[in-house]
A and B are shown apart, each in its own frame.
Chain A
Amino acid sequence: MRKYIFKRIMYMILTLFIIATATFFLMKLMPGSPYANQAKMTADQRAIMDAQYGLNKPVYQQYFIYLIGILHGDFGTSFQFNNQPVSFLISSRIGPSMQIGAQAIILGTVLGILLGAIAAIRKNTWVDTLATFFAILGRSIPNFVFAVLLQFYLAFKLKIFPIALWDEGFRSSILPTIALSMAPLATTARFMRTEMVDVLNSDYIELARAKGNTPWQTVAKHALRNSLIPVITIIGPMAVDLMVGSMVVENIFSIPGIGDQFVKSITTNDYPTIMGLTLLYSFMLVVVILIVDILYGFIDPRIRLSGNEGSN
């Protein structure tokens, strides 16, 4: 197991290195300049600005400076947004994103597990059809459409929640959380239903019933636990959905998070911030996938075995 984890971490570092390199050289190829009033600049002014941002050095030197900077947690200085260091820009904005993301994933998975389990227990009844229909709605309706609808009806028409901004603490986070939780909810419900149907058909459930357990006991003690294990594997893809979702949802609700920052940086050619956030997103994704794999290995011994074989 230790060998397997070590190997996976090595691959992870290699992956991140390749991503850092690729984004760096892509950014160098980008059209457009970071200076807002480039047309009015004289050559001298331009040279001073270039020197300020280290853009006068040869590309390979910039590349090494960038790589060494990353290792020190320095992602350069934002071209926009008052010349703040990218690391500061990210760290000051990651809080709201993390809060909404965590809330959405908890709400989505808990409701999804319930919905999926109920659908499986009441298989082929109207309850199942309704739950499946909800899951398909959640998967099909784009989250930004859903976010705008929530904003319009619950905040603008009914005035239950604040329309936007991040100034009322938890209350501000409710609508974005609901909007973001739709995708994880749908995915979990779908997966949970399939797993639960499988488990309910298995012999040990038959045995549990034969021993005289009530249907509720059987589900709570035996079926639910065993169906939950494979659900862990979809946490990785769900994290990706959340990242994508957070960009529009934060934008719609004017939340000062990293998703909103990413969209703003794109529209202003703010290369260092785009690179920093790309690396951050990739890093989070790689770490989540690694944790999920390791966790899965600990929970399900069969996987651990095959993991060991793989590392030999």
Chain B
Amino acid sequence: MPSNRVGVLVVTGFHERLQMAGMVASVAAVSGSDVTVFLSMNALQYFVRDGDRAPPAEGSFGATMASTNVPPFRQLFEQAVSLGGAKVHPCSMAMDVLRLEPGDLVDWLAEPLGLTRFLADALEGTLVTF
């Protein structure tokens, strides 16, 4: 029987990829998958508490999307947690590099996680990377 586990590795700082990652995480979580998200590299800065900086578009689609009523990507990740029971973890290495403490991040994130632990769980199922 295939595993119901979905790992979502998010390292991008581009809007389109953050949006797609949030869509995958939220829809998979509310559809019965056990979803774990790992936020690292350029992605983590967009999950700082009270941060309102918009990520840049990677291409023309992102520029067009910015003027439409798509759900904000942070809201999609939060709904993955609140509606689907997903866990969204900040990468402990990225937190060290950016000198962030857990209290600096949005409060619906799970505890910081190392890559080894994330991969140990994620590789038992499907891993998607953005």
A, B in one complex: no
User: Which A residues form the contact surface with B (CB < 8 A)?
Assistant: none
